[in-house]
A and B are shown apart, each in its own frame.
Chain A
Amino acid sequence: MSEESKPIGGEIFTKPFKVLMAFALFAAVLVIVRLFYGLGLVTSMSDGYPWGIWIAYDVVAGTAVACGGYAMAILVYMMNKGEYHPLVRPALLASMFGYTLAGVSVMFDIGRYWQAYNLFLPKYANPNSILFEVALCIALYSLVLWLEFIPAFLEGIEKHKKDVPKFVQNWDVRGLRKFWNKVLFIFIAVGILLPTMHQSSLGTMMVIAGKKLSPLWQTGFLPLLYLISAITMGYAIVIFESIYSSKGLKRPLESDMLAKLSGIIPWLLGIFLVVRFVGIISQGGLGSIFQFNKNTLMFIIEIALFVYPLMVLMNKGNQTRPRALFLSAASLLLAGSLYRFNSYLIGFNPGPGWGYFPSFTEIMITLGIISFEIMAYLYIVKKFPVLPKTEHA
């Protein structure tokens, strides 16, 4: 693995990095305010809309966008497509941060955070609760992602032997790495199982909302739809990041690999859309499409964002065009995120008199978390062997 990846080096405290830091610090201050004065002061959430963007974006859409590691693991380790190996590590890293920070934002969101460990106490366990399964799975998967990333850290330590603290220098890093690579397959397997479970269950979560969720989104197929779209978004984020980092960090593009990868997407999207409409029809929700209200509009945008990458990527020629690839991947990420927003917030109607639009401070905390995520990503790809080694022609 070490032959494929390499730290890219360079200055850490660049200008964009400092801007991100400012956002993160502002969010940190707001989080302190939230801890002392309650959720009501910093958010627009209410008894009618008890979940806002911290759940819909940070957790539900955020972990789906962070499915790159999962989607690549399916391809490389389950389907045995070794040629995609160089894309695994950057995907894994983004997943690691996506999930870890989803976990962190949940801690700000839940009211009685000091009792969060109750989730792990058998006396309080409720196996009927979809959230119980989701919470355990996400916590465990975040841990597994860090464990899967250990080889990269160990390689980093080996390369910078002189820079690390004394006690670390005495470690048998090589031996440790060899041992870890031997047992890693177990964590990789668990790392495929857990997202399969919780990404589908994130969909099941809204089943219990019943009629509060519009029939355009409420269906027994929610788990299947969430699972397929999460995997599809996983491939989209790998393509997106790969093209973006090749431009931003001025590196050559892995075009062959991306072309092949993008060929999987139309298949998944096709299945998704069929099940999506079967779900609506079985709920008798077809009429809701023609009501021409806010839900109709958001539904049409969502479906259009799903159909666009399907149309573009069905054309084989487009699979090698970076621009078409980039736009398709971006559209798909937006589509999947909007699908999640729609089924958690926009299509959710607790009854007359309730409304929700995120407050400024609520949005700033989310932006702070995203900023922190990007900062950590940049730091690690510069210091540790994550991104594929560039070929010198």
Chain B
Amino acid sequence: MEIKRRDFLKVAAAGGLMMAANAGPALARDQKARITGAVGLLYDSTVCVGCKACVSACKQYNETPPSFSSSDELWDNPLDNDSKTYNHIKLYKDGTGEVKDREKDGHAYVKRQCMHCVDPACASACPVSALKKDEKSGIVTYNKDACIGCRYCQVACPFNIPKFEWEKALPQIRKCELCSHRLKKGDIPACAEFCPTGACIFGAVDDLLAEAKKRLAYKPGEYQNYPVERVNGKQVTERLVTPYIQHVYGEKEGGGTQVLYLAGVPFQKLGLPDLEEKPQAQVSETIQHTIYKGMIAPIVFLGGLVYIVHKNTKDE
């Protein structure tokens, strides 16, 4: 078939429009700011001794069943976060592993749970608003009555946090909701309350961030007071400061998270992804909202189509 110049131009123009729409920064969705009064956790890997008291407290207060990985099924020993394990402690080990919090020939612990992102990809992805960011606390909550089980949240989450009950006929998505049920009663998340060392503390994100930055300024070898359970609580413990990587993971990663990390070994070694500062939800929504702003483009396109199709089918 010979392509007429006019037709080609039409196609090219349409393609050009789409490209412009794709690239157009004019309608870009603004980056979301931290909610004032949002709450979260600060996990300091150098303070953690890997006792897993947080794992067991999490299971107890969220009433999640044991997760077996040995064939006798007698021991609750999850290998990773799963639908029965919202919170987990993992171990990094290199070479001889002899020195704690050292990258080479050392070891370090890492606690993994929902990061409660400032701009959560899961909530942006969820077609039925089952995953939602609470307007006051910033906690990313799950509503099973809304969820259709499509698992797009799992595709979207850069931390692979939402877990699905693959073995159930009537499954749900499971993940840490920062013990919302305990917060309502004035308690704090179980993992923070039962952490004996203060490696995991609860508080307002602003306070947690300030505490994290304060710790980065400490000199290795000196003794400092580390709060336990709550960032501004009365309980403190004195401990010897060990070297930190000079970075608060979660301050900016993926647009920021409400769970912040300090560590003595590089965060990527602990399995935390290396993310851009621009959240992926913003990238995705900018494309979508550029094309579908107020549904104007689709409505105009439909109007044109109805007219053209009507004209072209009249003589039939």
Residues of A that sit less than 8 Å from B by CB:
1, 35-41, 45-48, 50-51, 76-80, 82, 109-113, 115-116, 118-119, 121, 124-133, 135, 181, 184-186, 188-190, 192-193, 196-197, 200-201, 204-212, 220-221, 223-224, 227-228, 259-264, 267-268, 271, 275, 319, 348, 350-351, 353
- The 5 A-B residue pairs whose C-beta atoms are closest, nearest first, are A111-B149, A263-B1, A40-B166, A260-B1, A112-B149
Assess the A223–B316 pair: CB atoms within 8 A. no
Assess the B158–A212 pair: CB atoms within 8 A. yes
Assess the A36–B169 pair: CB atoms within 8 A. yes
Residues of B that sit less than 8 Å from A by CB:
1-3, 7-8, 11-12, 15, 18-19, 22-23, 80, 82-83, 121, 123-130, 144-152, 154-156, 158, 160, 162-173, 271, 273-276, 280-281, 283-285, 287-289, 291-292, 298, 301-302, 305-306, 308-313, 316
A39 contact set on B, CB distance < 8 A: 164, 166, 171
In the complex the two chains form, what is the Cα distance from A211 to B180 in whole Å?
A: 30
B312 contact set on A, CB distance < 8 A: 76-78, 80, 82
Assess the B292–A133 pair: CB atoms within 8 A. yes
Q: Which of B19, B124, B160, B168 contacts A38 (CB 8 A)?
A: B168
For the complex formed, measure the closest distance between the CB of B280 and the CB atoms of chain A, giving whole angstroms: 4
Assess the A210–B129 pair: CB atoms within 8 A. no
Assess the B147–A112 pair: CB atoms within 8 A. yes
For the complex formed, measure the closest distance between the CB of A48 and the CB atoms of chain B, giving whole angstroms: 6
In the complex the two chains form, what is the Cα distance from A128 to B316 in whole Å?
A: 41
B165 contact set on A, CB distance < 8 A: 38, 111
In the complex the two chains form, what is the Cα distance from A260 to B4 in whole Å?
A: 12
Q: Which of B22, B166, B171, B306 contacts A189 (CB 8 A)?
A: B306
User: Can you list 16 A-B contacts (CB < 8 A)?
Assistant: A38-B171, A47-B163, A47-B166, A50-B151, A115-B145, A124-B146, A126-B128, A128-B124, A133-B288, A190-B305, A209-B280, A211-B158, A212-B155, A224-B18, A224-B19, A275-B15
Q: Which residue of A lies closest to B146 (CB)?
A: A124
Which one of B128, B166, B169, B284 has the greatest number of beta carbons of chain A within 10 Å? B128
Given known contacts A47-B164, A48-B160, A116-B148, A208 and B154 CB-to-CB distance under 8 angstroms: no
Assess the A129–B305 pair: CB atoms within 8 A. no
For the complex formed, measure the closest distance between the CB of B162 and the CB atoms of chain A, giving whole angstroms: 8
Which one of B148, B169, B273 has the greatest number of beta carbons of chain A within 10 Å? B148
Assess the A263–B2 pair: CB atoms within 8 A. yes
